[in-house]
Amino acid sequence: MASLQSGQSHEFGVHSGQSAHLHIAHGALRLDSQHLWDGDALTIEGGTDVVLVADSDSGLMAFDLA
Protein backbone atom coordinates (compact mmCIF):
# COMPACT_ATOMS: atom_id res chain seq x y z
CA MET A 1 0.00 0.00 0.00
CA ALA A 2 1.27 3.47 -0.85
CA SER A 3 0.61 6.48 1.36
CA LEU A 4 0.41 10.09 0.26
CA GLN A 5 0.22 13.07 2.58
CA SER A 6 -2.13 15.94 1.79
CA GLY A 7 -0.70 17.99 -1.08
CA GLN A 8 1.77 15.30 -2.12
CA SER A 9 1.69 13.93 -5.67
CA HIS A 10 2.81 10.65 -7.23
CA GLU A 11 3.26 9.68 -10.88
CA PHE A 12 2.25 6.21 -12.01
CA GLY A 13 3.55 4.93 -15.33
CA VAL A 14 2.52 1.72 -17.03
CA HIS A 15 4.57 0.12 -19.79
CA SER A 16 3.05 -0.50 -23.21
CA GLY A 17 1.15 -3.80 -23.33
CA GLN A 18 0.46 -3.80 -19.58
CA SER A 19 -2.20 -2.30 -17.35
CA ALA A 20 -2.57 -1.47 -13.65
CA HIS A 21 -5.50 -1.11 -11.29
CA LEU A 22 -5.39 1.52 -8.52
CA HIS A 23 -7.76 1.28 -5.55
CA ILE A 24 -8.20 4.20 -3.13
CA ALA A 25 -8.16 2.63 0.35
CA HIS A 26 -8.73 5.86 2.29
CA GLY A 27 -8.54 9.60 1.79
CA ALA A 28 -9.16 11.79 -1.24
CA LEU A 29 -7.10 12.01 -4.43
CA ARG A 30 -7.36 13.99 -7.63
CA LEU A 31 -6.48 12.95 -11.17
CA ASP A 32 -6.65 16.08 -13.33
CA SER A 33 -10.18 17.36 -12.57
CA GLN A 34 -11.52 13.96 -11.43
CA HIS A 35 -11.89 13.49 -7.66
CA LEU A 36 -11.44 10.02 -6.15
CA TRP A 37 -12.50 9.00 -2.63
CA ASP A 38 -12.45 5.91 -0.38
CA GLY A 39 -13.38 2.82 -2.38
CA ASP A 40 -12.94 4.40 -5.82
CA ALA A 41 -10.71 2.68 -8.34
CA LEU A 42 -9.28 3.22 -11.78
CA THR A 43 -7.46 1.21 -14.43
CA ILE A 44 -4.45 2.62 -16.23
CA GLU A 45 -3.72 1.26 -19.69
CA GLY A 46 -0.19 0.67 -20.97
CA GLY A 47 1.79 3.58 -22.32
CA THR A 48 -0.05 5.99 -20.01
CA ASP A 49 1.41 8.08 -17.20
CA VAL A 50 -0.91 9.63 -14.61
CA VAL A 51 -0.22 11.98 -11.70
CA LEU A 52 -2.33 11.63 -8.57
CA VAL A 53 -2.48 14.49 -6.07
CA ALA A 54 -3.63 13.88 -2.49
CA ASP A 55 -6.33 16.27 -1.28
CA SER A 56 -6.04 14.66 2.18
CA ASP A 57 -3.81 12.03 3.76
CA SER A 58 -4.51 9.00 1.58
CA GLY A 59 -3.66 5.36 1.02
CA LEU A 60 -3.91 3.44 -2.22
CA MET A 61 -3.16 -0.02 -3.52
CA ALA A 62 -1.71 -0.68 -6.97
CA PHE A 63 -2.15 -3.98 -8.80
CA ASP A 64 -0.10 -4.92 -11.87
CA LEU A 65 -2.51 -6.60 -14.30
CA ALA A 66 0.26 -7.50 -16.81
- Domain extents in the chain: 2-64
pLDDT for 25: 97
Burial 17-34 (b: 16+ CB within 10 A, else e): eebbebbbeebbbebeee
The structure's pTM equals 0.83
Query: Nearest 5 degrees, angle CA 15-CA 50-CA 18?
Result: 25
pLDDT band at 66 (very low <50, low <70, confident <90, very high): confident
CATH number of 2-64: 2.60.120.10
Question: What is the 3 state secondary structure string of 25-42?
Answer: EECEEEECCEEEECCCEE
| Whole-number CA gyration radius for the chain | 11
pLDDT in tens, 8-59: 999 988 889 999 999 999 999 999 899 999 999 999 998 888 999 999 999 9
Do the beta carbons of residue 16 and residue 10 sit within 8 Å?
no
